[in-house]
Each structure stands twice: as structure tokens, then as C-alpha cells.
Chains A and B, each alone.
Chain A
Amino acid sequence: MRLRVSGQQTGNDYDLDLVMGGDVADSGLPHGGLMNDFVEAVCARDTDRTAQARTVIVETLGEAAMVDAAAMIAAFNAYPRMADATGIPLEDGKAIATLKMRQELDLETINNAAP
């Protein structure tokens, strides 16, 4: 949701399908391909691919950008686990605000953590 909000604030229109499939080529997100390679490699625990993606990000965006990206990936390996382990639902306000987005991404068909 915040990716969409950020785009609205900056006047960008991001194709949110990129989040589900990682196909960032025409998404409009600057350096989306680099970001996607990095997050996929770290989450897959693929050391070689991570090193490769890290090098490209450092060369393209700088070391500080790579550190900030690694921090984001780390943080978002926490929040989902915390939500899923405790059964935290989406707040009502967020559910309303994201209804259209969830329909676009077909998230309603995913049977996630059924009790």
C-alpha cells in the first residue's frame, strides 16, 4: 500500500504487479531491477547471487544505498513473521484502503494462514 501512496505523493504511477511477480522492467520504479535482484537473492539465501546483486547496487547507487536496502530486506523478514506467527489481521482501515489493490493483485484468492 505504501508503495502506491509514495507514488501518489511523488506523482509516479507504479505497476503494483511488480510486487507479486518481480517483473520490474516496465514498472516505473527507478532501479527496480537492481532492488528486485537483491531482495530475491537475500531471501533465497543465495550467497553468490547476493554478492553479485550487492556489487551492482554499490557500483550503481553507492554503498550507503546497498546498506539501506539490506536493512529494509532484513526488517521485512521480521514483520511478516511476527504477523503470521500471531495471526495479526489487517486493520479495518487498511483493509478498506487496500481493497482495490488487493483485488488487482488477486490477494483475496490466497488462503493465507487459515486457522
Chain B
Amino acid sequence: MAQAFDAAPVFIRADLRAALNRAHEHQSETGDWLDGLQRLAVMAEARHAWNCEFCQACKDALSPYTVSGAHDHLGALPASWVDVIHRVVTDPGRLSARWYAQAKTDGMVEDEIIEVISIAVQAVVVDCFTAGIGMETPLPLPANSGQPQKQPLRQHRTDAKTGPGWAATIAPEDAGDDFIDFYDNESHFYIRRSLTLVPGETRRLWDLLNNLYMEDPRLYELEGMVRHISRAQMEFLAARASALLGCYY
């Protein structure tokens, strides 16, 4: 069966196309903490966030947390979820520990927050890519089969602890046998660790990211990888995109 990125208007190398298709298809499937319908709703809300006047007012304000008002939303998700999604999408450079704590105070389980962040991030990633290559944007959401879905297992990882930021993560030294391979090849960068509270979801996200960028960024140059821009051009795009988002990680 043809998948979404098989219809791209340009040639996409096979590994990247497959990863994009996997990520796209997974959005309607049961996740670690969210069911398929919730995941689709999060993705739709992430796309809708760009049209939110409250988000625009926050973005324009000196401090986004001094603006009063309410998000313009699609009505499918609780307000706390909408706030997480909209701020991650539209103003990520000014997210804070207080914002994260507020989401928990407002009723979100931390594991849900992480899965929601991951889905919102994937919505942005896919839409950036499709916009870049001139493909229909936003790409239609994958169809939900309408059949009764598996319920997510919602199993909290007891090997996760708060840190190195404000979210709980699984440190390489704490990872159990089922997850230690995630840190193979000394890939224990903090950024790789960031969403590990929800291991299945974070593996799927990194499957996409590794194919968009590279699996081992410690390489000095491309060293056999087939890319059609230089490593310096890649890193310029990386740094410039980050700077435009106000992120200096």
C-alpha cells in the first residue's frame, strides 16, 4: 500500500522516506500513554496552534506569562494539554520549569506531558519538511481505522528520575535491560535523554530524527554518509534554525 511520503513531489532517499512514513503512520496508533485518537487530536492541535491569537499575543509580549487570555483550540483536548501543545509549537524558547509544573498541577500526568511534547514536535518536524520540499502541508493525518483500539499500557518507568532538566528522564546508568541499548555508542547526550520517560515514544521519535540528521553527530565530517550538502552547510542550517527558535542548547 502506498504511504504518505511515497507521493512526495521529489525523490527522497529510501531510508529517510521509510522513516517519515513510519512516523506518519504511527500517529494514529496506540502510544505508550495516549491512544490513537488522542495522538491524532494532539497532532491536529499542534497544527492549529499557529492560528491561535493568544499564542501570537504571548509571542509578541516581553514575557509570555504576563498575557491573559485563552488559547483558540479545536475542542478535543483538555485545556492543560492545549497549553502544552501550543507553547511547544509557537514559543519554545521561553518554556520554563514553572510552565512544566503548571501542566502537572492542572492534571496532566508527567508521562502524558512527554508523549504530548513528542507528538507536537513531530507535527512541526513533518510540516517543516513537507513545506520545505514543496509537498502538501499540512500532510493529511493518517486515517484512524475506526476499529476499537488497544488501550495504551500507561506504565510509568520507575527507573526515571528528575534531571538533568526539569523533566524526569532515564539516565544511562539507571536504564534497565530493555532500554540500555538506546544509549549504545556512547550516545548519552542530554538531548537524547530528554524524552526518555516514555521509552517507546522516544525510540520512535529518534528513529525519525536520526534519518533526518544523522545517527552519530560526533562524526567530524560525513565520513561515508551520503548527503548532498556539506557538513558545514548542515551545521549552519542546524545552528540557524535553533537560533531562529531562540534556543541556544
Contacts and interface: CB of A to CB of B under 8 A. Distances in A.
B243 interface: yes
Nearest to B137: A47
Interface stretch (B29-37, B66-74, B118-126, B149-157): B118-126
B241 A39 contact: yes
Interface of A: 2-3, 5-7, 9-10, 12, 14, 18-20, 22, 24, 29-32, 35-36, 38-40, 42-43, 45, 47, 50-51, 54, 61-91, 102, 107, 110, 112-115
A72 B234 contact: yes
B61 to A, nearest CB: 15
A34 to B, nearest CB: 9
Which among A45, A69, A77, A82 has the highest number of chain B CB atoms within 10 Å? A82
A71 B209 CA distance: 9
A42 B131 contact: yes
B237 A73 contact: yes
Given A29-B233, A35-B236, A62-B228, A67 B241 contact: no
B57 interface: no
Contacts of B117: 81-82, 85-86
Contacts of A35: 229, 233, 236-237, 240
Contacts of A88: 164-165, 190-191, 193-194, 249
Interface string B98-135: 10100000000000001001001110111011011110
A63 B241 contact: no
B121 A82 contact: yes
Contacts of A114: 96
A68 B227 contact: yes
A85 B247 contact: no
A39 B229 CA distance: 14
B200 to A, nearest CB: 16
B95 interface: yes
Using C-beta atoms within 8 Å of the partner chain, give the interface range for chain B. 35 or more
Contacts of A79: 191, 209, 238, 242, 247, 249
A73 B166 CA distance: 26
Contacts of A40: 240, 244
Contacts of B13: 64, 67
A74 B126 contact: yes
Nearest to A115: B97
- Give 8 closest A-B pairs by Cβ, nearest first: A87-B165, A70-B132, A80-B247, A76-B241, A115-B97, A86-B167, A87-B166, A75-B212
Which of B190, B236, B237 has the most chain A CB within a 10 Å cutoff?
Answer: B236
A7 to B, nearest CB: 6
B212 A10 contact: no
Most buried by B among A35, A50, A73, A80: A80
B42 interface: no
9 contacts: A7-B232, A19-B236, A35-B236, A40-B244, A68-B227, A78-B125, A80-B247, A84-B94, A87-B100
Given A6-B231, A68-B234, A47 B164 contact: no
B221 A73 contact: no
A81 B88 contact: yes
